[in-house]
Structure 1
Amino acid sequence: MSNDAFVTPIKDADGNTIEYQSVRSKPTDEQVLYSISSKLNIVINSSLQIAAAVEITSTNFFWFIEVMFVPYLYR
């Protein structure tokens, strides 16, 4: 995901940098969904590996995903 971000040094009368100002643009809905889906894919793939290692049933696995991650998608 690529967001526009700009940082500008703020200088005093002598030309010394005294702070930085950062301005960012709000991500589009498409950028947010892409970010969420890519992170969720990582979680699901990692969880599948864990489930295979400990022999979690599919019912328990999907319950785990729903309880742990779905609420965060709707914040």
Structure 2
Amino acid sequence: MQRLPLLLLPLLALAGCDQQPSTQAIPEVSDANCTLEVIKQIEDRAARAEFAGQCSRRSGAIQPTEQPKNWLELNSSQG
């Protein structure tokens, strides 16, 4: 009866051991690197999500509209 805990203790200790997650270096955020092809090449899912998020928040990612439309004026003209 006392042998069972002695045998289970090493098994539980080994079961808790896990490989450390591999941290893949993400490329520098730039116009050349923020393309779909480069993002797809990043294998680590967390690193890919982080890099894609940084690309979407970089300055100049979304260009301002040159001639914005006023939706209230467009809707009021219809009726």
Same fold (TM > 0.5): no
TM-score bracket for this pair, using the shorter chain length: under 0.3
For normalisation by structure 1, the TM-score amounts to 0.24
Per residue, is there more helix in 1 or in 2?
Answer: 1
The structure with the larger Rg is 2
For normalisation by structure 2, the TM-score amounts to 0.23
Per residue, is there more strand in 1 or in 2?
Answer: 1
